[in-house]
Amino acid sequence: MTAREIVQRGLYFEEFDEDARYLHRPGRTATEADNVMFTTLTMNTQALHLDAAFAATQEPFGTRVMNSMWTLSTMVGASVAQLTQGTLVAQLGLGDIAFPHPLFAGDTLYTESTIVERRPSTSRPGQGIVTIAHTGRNQEGTVVATATRTVLVLCRPGGPQ
**7 pLDDT higher than 90:** no
For the chain, give every domain's residue range: 13-31+66-154
DSSP 156: P
* Among the listed residues 108, 119, 47, the one whose alpha carbon sits nearest the alpha carbon of residue 74: 108
How far is it, in rounded angstroms, from Cα 15 to Cα 18?
Answer: 9
Q: Look up the CATH number of domain 13-31+66-154.
A: 3.10.129.10
Which of the four pLDDT bands, split at 50, 70 and 90, describes residue 1?
Answer: confident
Instruction: Read off the pLDDT of residues 68-122 as tens digits, 9 standing for 90 and up.
Output: 999 999 999 999 999 999 999 999 999 999 999 999 999 999 999 999 999 999 9
How far is it, in rounded angstroms, from Cα 65 to Cα 102?
Answer: 6
